[in-house]
Amino acid sequence: MQPTTHGHPPGHSVVLTSGRRLLVWAAGLGLSLLIAACTETAGTAASQSGGQATGASVSSQPSGAPAVPLASLSQPTVPSPIGRRAATTVKIELETVEKKARLADGVEYEFWTFDGTVPGPMLRVRQGDTVELKLKNSAKLTHSIDLHAVTGPGGGATLTQVLTGQEAVFRWKALNPGLYVYHCASPIIPMHIAQGMYGLILVEPPEGLAPVDREYYVMQGDFYTVAKTGEPGAQGFAMDKMLNEEPEYVVFNGAGAALTGDRALTARVGEKVRIFFGVGGPNLTSSFHVIGEIFDAVYPEGASEPLHNVQTTLVPTGGATIVEFTVDVPGTYLLVDHSLSRLLKGAVAQLVVTGPEAPDIYQQVSGSSAGTGGH
Ligand SMILES: [Cu+2]
């Protein structure tokens, strides 16, 4: 499955290297993460991984990129569980703002955001709550909000077409529990979504969700830049690519490999992890998968009834899912869209699990691993 730079007939390499920068960028982003993950798990050094590792050692900084690395947007956090309490009135305030930040290494993009993050803040209320939502527009264009948890025309968008410098407030009752997408719904709607204007709202049932050790918030989105994947510099939006549904970047949380390194998800062996996973789109669905894990429970499309023992779960655009699993073996696991070409466009995150080895579950018996194999 690895996108190797070696050993292919010339015809293949023409396809792969038609954007040489893509290859360099992909090598830095996808391959090194993949190799690092696999070798850490297998307990072998990257230097043992032969030819393929050479590609991965190429700098992830494309030539001509700014000397100072661009900062990614800050990451939204997961609000504390609500648990058992009576229904009440909850006030929420969101502000639309533009932010220039890293989309990929060396690639700057002006995001349109709720509260300066992509995805926007995760909202958490209880079934039966009345939510009073203020939308303040500090951006250049008109923006709005459609929450899929809302019952009413436009999901709030008919009440919140807010001009620049103004604000609007509307009140709605959370009738149905579940995990829902919210997004801007101002014309051209898919363009606003393609700039990063989406997030998740969790409506907890009256009894709350079962406690877990870790909760994480991840959303996939597709981005349409004028220049090709990996071309450095400030990039504008390409309407034609959006209409053709051909993104240059597919990412989790607003940037290629945003949730890796010191922003990786973490857990200890034996802990139960819950991921609130949504797809903003605007166009691509996600075959959400964690390499080396099996979802003990999936609440497909944010529904109330779980499925058990799932490898990959399909998440529609404008949809969300809750996955839960206990981590048993230490190492680095990758979150991906199993339409794996998108890994080369940025859709990868790391879950770093620490703790005692579990050789009864996973161990090498003989041979040395190339470290780039499947899963
Ligand atoms: Cu908008």
Question: Any idea how long the chain is?
Answer: 375
d(CA 122, ligand 1 centre) in Å: 17
Q: What is the pLDDT of residue 46?
A: 29
d(CA 229, CA 63): 14
d(CA 1, CA 348): 15
d(CA 251, CA 55): 22
d(CA 76, ligand 1 centre) in Å: 19
d(CA 110, CA 11): 37
pLDDT, tens digit (0-9, with 9 covering 90-100), for 186-233: 999 999 999 999 999 999 999 999 999 999 999 999 999 999 999 999
Residue in the block written with tokens 């981005």: 223
Which residue did the predictor score with more confidence, 11 or 37? 37
d(CA 140, ligand 1 centre) in Å: 10
Mean pLDDT of 58-64: 41
Q: Dump strand ranges (E) for 59-196.
A: 89-104, 107-114, 123-126, 130-137, 146-147, 167-173, 178-183
d(CA 116, ligand 1 centre) in Å: 13
Which residue did the predictor score with more confidence, 24 or 260? 260
Q: What is the pLDDT of residue 38?
A: 40
d(CA 194, ligand 1 centre) in Å: 10
Mean pLDDT of 141-155: 98
d(CA 189, ligand 1 centre) in Å: 7
d(CA 77, ligand 1 centre) in Å: 22
Q: What is the pLDDT of residue 371?
A: 59
Question: Beta strand pairing status for 89-104 and 130-137?
Answer: parallel
d(CA 34, ligand 1 centre) in Å: 35
pLDDT confidence band for 15 (50 / 70 / 90): very low
d(CA 282, ligand 1 centre) in Å: 13
d(CA 264, ligand 1 centre) in Å: 29
d(CA 213, ligand 1 centre) in Å: 35
- 3-state secondary structure at position 282: coil
State in Å, rounded, how far the first CA of the chain is from the last one: 9
d(CA 309, CA 307): 7
- pLDDT at residue 57 is higher than 70: no
d(CA 278, CA 131): 21
CA dihedral angle for residue 273, residue 255, residue 32, residue 77, rounded to 10 degrees: -30
Q: How many CB atoms lie within 10 A of CB 91?
A: 11
Which residue did the predictor score with more confidence, 52 or 41? 41
pLDDT, tens digit (0-9, with 9 covering 90-100), for 280-336: 999 999 999 999 999 999 999 999 999 999 999 999 999 999 999 999 999 999 999
Q: Which of 175, 181, 90, 177 shows the shortest CA–CA distance to 131?
A: 90
Q: How far is CA 49 from CA 6, 36, 367, in A?
A: 13, 10, 13
Mean pLDDT of 129-154: 98
Residue type present at position 91 = K
Sign, Cα dihedral of 136, 111, 334, 310: positive
Worst-scoring range by mean pLDDT, 7-11, 16-20, 349-353?
A: 7-11
pLDDT, tens digit (0-9, with 9 covering 90-100), for 335-353: 999 999 999 999 999 999 9
Q: Dump strand ranges (E) for 254-327.
A: 265-268, 272-281, 286-291, 295-299, 307-310, 312-315, 319-326
pLDDT confidence band for 68 (50 / 70 / 90): low
d(CA 112, ligand 1 centre) in Å: 7
d(CA 315, CA 337): 10
d(CA 143, ligand 1 centre) in Å: 4
d(CA 256, ligand 1 centre) in Å: 22
Instruction: For the chain, list the domains and their CATH numbers.
Output: 10-56 (no CATH), 89-204 (2.60.40.420), 223-354 (2.60.40.420)
